[in-house]
Amino acid sequence: MWSNRDTILMVGVIWVVLLMWLFAVDFGRPPFPPASPISQIIFNAYTMVVISAGVVASIFIGAMIYFVVKFRERGHGEG
């Protein structure tokens, strides 16, 4: 059913999507330096939310990409 190759490829696709996400959001860094201790707390929460969303999104998107490529129908298109 699942081979080691399938597992490695799926994990690889998920890592690539996660790294693209982190690069796009500047690895969770806030857009400007904090002005007060309270804003530092808010920026820390922002960073945690951005990275958590990236992990969840990369698992979902990476699995979708992997399954679409692996289980695509070959040669039976409409046209």
Triad 50, 9, 66: Cα angle to 5° = 70
Note the pLDDT tens digit of each residue in 24-39.
Answer: 999 888 888 889 999 9
Note the pLDDT tens digit of each residue in 49-58.
Answer: 999 999 999 9
- DSSP-assigned states of every residue in 48-67: HHHHHHHHHHHHHHHHHHHH
Question: Is pTM, for the whole model, over 0.75?
Answer: yes
Determine the Cα–Cα distance for residues 29 and 52; give it in Å rounded to an integer: 14
- Residue 1, token pair as written in the block: 């059913």
Contacts of 34 (CB under 8 A, 6+ apart): 40, 43
> Where do the domains of the chain lie?
4-70
Helix (H, G, I), strand (E, B) or coil at 29: coil
